[in-house]
Structure 1
Amino acid sequence: MTTSVVCRIATEAEWRSAQETGSVPQRDIDVKDGYMHLSTKSQALETANIHFAGHDDLLLLEIPIAPIAEFVKFELAPKRGEEFPHLYAPLKAADIARVVRLIDTPDGFKFGECL
């Protein structure tokens, strides 16, 4: 898959923690699976709708793929039937190029303003 940006959905608390510690925190599923779950920008809203319904504090962390490319593998997610980027390294706060608020609407999440 060709993409110049990959994304991490994070809560505001996770982003604050990343800014304080320098690393985006892993979730239990990341630790269990052995990699950090990411999405492409085109996959992000569906991912938010499936896994984060009801959250009103979500952010999309956009990461240029070039600096982390050697640690990213696009692998099939059988439940979704498509390949997703998986990061096999820590995600540093310094790797984040842009932060976009995700707005929960009655029709699902939408991209909001850049922070």
Structure 2
Amino acid sequence: MRRILHLAKRSDWEAARLDGTYRWSTRDATVADTGFVHASTSAQLPRVAAMAYADLPSADLVVLVVDLDTLTSQGIEVRWESLDGAAEPFPHVYAPLPTSAVIAVLDVDDDGAGGHAMPDVTGFAVA
């Protein structure tokens, strides 16, 4: 099983659970705005948090663990792409995310220095 991660606002995830589809690409931008859901590997996740979510309290964030095989079985394309001069590719999900593809929702903790401590995802076979 292969997995990727998506950092989400807790309120956006809670709303998605009600209708079965997560439609956010990244903070304050939908899949309709960008064309895909921004995702990351475990190594990329702290940079995403610092870049896009630094001003939000950790309690307002969750990490979605997304199963790539579930996405593929539903005909959803995932591309690994480098955008805006990024040195390494990030996974992009080219459709709204079905909540059925999210196998875990993990809390983000405060790191004690005003930042975010990402959850341990080693047990989830994350890229």
Greater strand share, 1 or 2? 1
2:22 paired residue among 15, 21, 24: 24
Question: What secondary structure is seen at the aligned counterpart in 1 of 2:44?
Answer: helix
TM superposition outliers: structure 1 runs of 4+ over 4 Å: none
Distance (whole Å) between structure 1 residues aligned to residue 43 and residue 101 of structure 2: 20
One-letter identity of the residue aligned with 1:11: K
Deviations for 1:51-107, whole angstroms, at most 9, x for unmatched residues?
A: 100212110000111122451000013343210000112201111101111123326
How high is the TM-score relative to the length of structure 1? 0.83
RMSD: 2.3
Distance (whole Å) between structure 2 residues aligned to residue 112 and residue 7 of structure 1: 11
How high is the TM-score relative to the length of structure 2? 0.76
Q: Would you say the 8 A contact 1:74–1:84 is kept in 2?
A: yes
Q: Would you say the 8 A contact 1:5–1:41 is kept in 2?
A: no
Deviations for 1:15-38, whole angstroms, at most 9, x for unmatched residues?
A: 111111111122426433211111
Distance (whole Å) between structure 2 residues aligned to residue 71 and residue 78 of structure 1: 21
Distance (whole Å) between structure 1 residues aligned to residue 12 and residue 64 of structure 2: 11
Which runs of no fewer than 5 residues in structure 1 stay unpaired?
none
Q: Would you say the 8 A contact 1:23–1:93 is kept in 2?
A: yes
Q: Which residue of 2 aligns with 1:48?
A: 49
